[in-house]
Chain A
Amino acid sequence: MRGLIVESQGLSLCGVPRCVRYRHHEIGHKEDAVCNLKNEPMNSQPVIAVQGLTKTYDKVEAVKGIDFAVAAGEVFGLLGPNGAGKTSTIEILEGLRPRSGGNATVLGFDPDRQKQQLKDRVGVCLQATNLPAKMRVQEALELFGSFYSRSISSTKLLQRLQLWEKRAAFYETLSGGQKQRLALALALVNDPQLLFLDEPTTGLDPQIRLEIHGLIEEMKAEKRTVVLTTHYIEEAERLCDRVAIIDEGRIVAMGTPRELQQKSQERSRIDISTGQPMNALALPQWPNVLETKLEQDGRALTVYSSRPAKTLFEIMKWLDQQAIPLEDVHLKRPTLEDVFVELTGKKLRD
């Protein structure tokens, strides 16, 4: 057997929301007392609760009555194409836009009526934002830190987000990745228990995207609650405990990435290459196989299965019995993208 490659997509993530304390002190808070402030929801209560949320712009209904809840310490993803209603939803929760209908509470606050209290407690990384060209990196952190009732030392944030070397640089001289790291640093400046990240990696090159993923994973490890919007499947699969797939203002599916994949009617695909040709007529009926395709030269076999692990085991056993040398194997499970296409009939980047 030469080179067994099992390509597994979307097999990660724990999927179980964790119950945690709201405060954490990993990055040197000015006030060291444990903050269980007034109006802070109990751990058993969701950090975010949304019921029948709607948003209408003139006559266009961008959000059409959605419901979801986010637990403390959870990384919750809103996944959907452009114009699906993700940003409208997240901006209502951030207190940036009034809702047209329904109910929403964030950290126990009503985002419409208690904007200032809410904004003081959450961190926000906007999809599109800017800073003055001649503002220095450290100055930006100190300025924005002064707007909150509590803030983290800019030095610690700069070191943590690998911006220390750039602390005296003007904003206009930063690269795209550095600007995004600064945007994340600004979102963390008040040491928030809840972070909203609106498409934090859109437009960045793959290496910088990985760096940003690393930073979000750190936030996750610190037990911060994170609400993330994205149209990158791999981002949702890698980072999110739970995902809501949103399309045309409605949530069409919600669950852990694995749950969503398992619910999918999509089939796993097994690709097999062999050292000598197989006879199409001699291929057995393996269990759970939905479709089988053999290339003309008889050396490449594609099998679609509803239970890929069992099918793969049977195929291996049969090849061994037939003394057919195996050259390569690929197993591709349905991705969130497949689930999305199946549910909406669209591609995510439509």
Chain B
Amino acid sequence: MKPYLAIIVMDIKLALRLRAVIFFNYLFPLIFFFTFATVLKKDSADIAFVVTMSVTLGVLGSGFFGAGIRAIQERELGILRRYKVTPITPAPILVGSMVTGWIIFIPYIVFLLLMAHSLYQMPLPGNFIDLLVFISLGLIAFRALGLVIASVANTMQEGTILVQLFYFPMLLLSGATFPSEKFPTVMRIIHNFIPATYLVEGMKSIMLKNHSLLDKDNLLAVLVMVLTVFGGGLISMKLFRWEKEEKIRGSAKLWVLVILLPFIVAGIWLWLKG
């Protein structure tokens, strides 16, 4: 346990020393929240939509940029190479990344909900803890996804392209930025295949419908997130590379599809269900 704790403590210290981390984890989503909340301020459902959007923005940013791009950067800079000569396995580094992201993100969520409640009169969710647990699960799942992307990208350029390919469709088609109820039929089908959809829908269900985490409406979202956490963890462990010189074969990039499998199956199921 010693290396795990040491890496988590160190990662938290490093994260809090970086202005970019503070900006993208706290300030940027907060600016988003206050701007949209002020513009859209009609009723608590609108504010809940803005909260969902800000949280999704933060979760995706933390997963793809905080975990994924940072992992590629550490490999390219030769930082992971220094770890390679020690007796540790990739596990403490990967677990450290997931846990650190969570520790940094959760205070922001609590702060955001309190702001929405006190400034915009949004009722606090009845299942507050369920909401925090669900967001935590989502955050760890998306950090795992980010780490898988880092594992299959051979260069920073490749990693950036992959991240953009994931980030923007998730932001635009998940229902986080545009209400999914207004999507045309084709977009609604695509929407069901987007991983962030399950995060957005789960949050809406707990916040607006007062459902619990294990309500039958949330089971699918919880299941795909749990599968992503474990699948992502295992795949990023298997494909972990310490040095930029260790290139991954083109065919190994298909592991990204494996991590997307739960969402593909869920999308097909929802499509068939109509």
Distance in Å from the Cβ of A100 to the closest Cβ of chain B?
Answer: 16
> Chain A 234-271 against B: per-residue CB contact (8 Å), 1 yes, 0 no?
00000000000000000000000000000000000000
Residue of A nearest to B92 (CB): A147
Q: Judging by beta carbons under 8 Å apart, are A94 and B85 in contact?
A: yes
Interface hits, A183-216 → B, CB 8 Å: 186
> Chain B 71-93 against A: per-residue CB contact (8 Å), 1 yes, 0 no?
00010011101111111110000
How long is the Cα–Cα vector from A208 to B3 in the complex, in angstroms?
33
Residue of A nearest to B13 (CB): A139
Chain B neighbourhood of A116, CB < 8 A: 87, 89
Interface hits, A32-67 → B, CB 8 Å: none
Q: Judging by beta carbons under 8 Å apart, are B79 and A148 in contact?
A: no
Q: Judging by beta carbons under 8 Å apart, are B10 and A139 in contact?
A: yes
Q: Judging by beta carbons under 8 Å apart, are B85 and A119 in contact?
A: yes
How long is the Cα–Cα vector from A96 to B80 in the complex, in angstroms?
12
Chain A neighbourhood of B273, CB < 8 A: none
User: CB within 8 A of A143: which of B6, B18, B74, B81?
Assistant: B6
Chain B neighbourhood of A139, CB < 8 A: 10, 13
Q: Judging by beta carbons under 8 Å apart, are B14 and A135 in contact?
A: yes
Distance in Å from the Cβ of A110 to the closest Cβ of chain B?
Answer: 15
> Chain A 103-141 against B: per-residue CB contact (8 Å), 1 yes, 0 no?
000000000000111011000101011111011000100
Residue of A nearest to B86 (CB): A147
How many residues from B make CB contacts under 8 Å with A?
23
How long is the Cα–Cα vector from A119 to B87 in the complex, in angstroms?
5
Q: Judging by beta carbons under 8 Å apart, are B85 and A130 in contact?
A: no
Q: Judging by beta carbons under 8 Å apart, are A131 and B82 in contact?
A: yes
- Give the interface SS of chain B, mostly helix, strand, loop or mixed: helix
Residue of B nearest to A118 (CB): B87
Chain A neighbourhood of B79, CB < 8 A: 129-132
Chain B neighbourhood of A314, CB < 8 A: none
Most B Cβ at <10 Å: residue of A115, A128, A144, A149: A144
How long is the Cα–Cα vector from A142 to B3 in the complex, in angstroms?
10
Q: Judging by beta carbons under 8 Å apart, are B14 and A126 in contact?
A: no
User: CB within 8 A of A144: which of B5, B13, B81, B86?
Assistant: B86
Chain B neighbourhood of A142, CB < 8 A: 6
Q: Judging by beta carbons under 8 Å apart, are B10 and A129 in contact?
A: no
How long is the Cα–Cα vector from A126 to B84 in the complex, in angstroms?
10
Interface size class on chain A is 20 to 34
Chain A neighbourhood of B82, CB < 8 A: 126, 129-131, 144, 186
Residue of B nearest to A122 (CB): B85
Chain B neighbourhood of A134, CB < 8 A: 13-14, 17-18
How long is the Cα–Cα vector from A147 to B87 in the complex, in angstroms?
6
Distance in Å from the Cβ of B104 to the closest Cβ of chain A?
Answer: 15
Residue of B nearest to A147 (CB): B86
Chain B neighbourhood of A143, CB < 8 A: 6-7, 10
How long is the Cα–Cα vector from A279 to B74 in the complex, in angstroms?
70
Q: Judging by beta carbons under 8 Å apart, are A126 and B6 in contact?
A: no
Q: Judging by beta carbons under 8 Å apart, are A146 and B87 in contact?
A: no
Q: Does B209 contact A (CB under 8 A)?
A: no
Q: Judging by beta carbons under 8 Å apart, are B81 and A128 in contact?
A: yes
Given contacts A134-B18, A139-B13, contact A96 B85 (CB under 8 A): yes
How long is the Cα–Cα vector from A38 to B272 in the complex, in angstroms?
62
Chain B neighbourhood of A115, CB < 8 A: 87
Chain B neighbourhood of A147, CB < 8 A: 2-3, 6, 83, 86-88
How long is the Cα–Cα vector from A148 to B79 in the complex, in angstroms?
18
Residue of B nearest to A125 (CB): B85
How long is the Cα–Cα vector from A134 to B74 in the complex, in angstroms?
13
How long is the Cα–Cα vector from A186 to B5 in the complex, in angstroms?
19
Chain A neighbourhood of B87, CB < 8 A: 115-117, 119-120, 147-149
Distance in Å from the Cβ of A9 to the closest Cβ of chain B?
Answer: 34
How long is the Cα–Cα vector from A116 to B73 in the complex, in angstroms?
25
Residue of A nearest to B7 (CB): A143
Chain A neighbourhood of B85, CB < 8 A: 94, 96, 119, 124, 126
Most A Cβ at <10 Å: residue of B79, B81, B87: B87
Chain B neighbourhood of A117, CB < 8 A: 87
Distance in Å from the Cβ of B12 to the closest Cβ of chain A?
Answer: 12
Interface hits, B1-36 → A, CB 8 Å: 2-3, 5-7, 10, 13-14, 17-18
Q: Judging by beta carbons under 8 Å apart, are B14 and A146 in contact?
A: no
Distance in Å from the Cβ of A170 to the closest Cβ of chain B?
Answer: 8
Distance in Å from the Cβ of B73 to the closest Cβ of chain A?
Answer: 10
Q: Judging by beta carbons under 8 Å apart, are A146 and B13 in contact?
A: no
User: CB within 8 A of B78: which of A129, A144, A186?
Assistant: A129
Q: List 20 A-B contacts (CB under 8 A).
A: A117-B87, A124-B85, A126-B85, A128-B78, A129-B79, A130-B77, A130-B81, A131-B79, A134-B13, A134-B14, A134-B17, A135-B10, A139-B10, A142-B6, A144-B86, A146-B3, A147-B2, A147-B83, A148-B86, A186-B82
Further 17 A-B residue pairs, CB within 8 A, beyond A117-B87, A129-B81, A146-B6: A94-B85, A96-B85, A119-B85, A119-B87, A120-B87, A126-B82, A129-B78, A130-B79, A130-B81, A132-B79, A134-B14, A134-B17, A135-B14, A143-B6, A143-B10, A147-B6, A148-B87
Give A contacts to B, CB under 8 Å.
94, 96, 115-117, 119-120, 124, 126, 128-132, 134-135, 139, 142-144, 146-149, 186
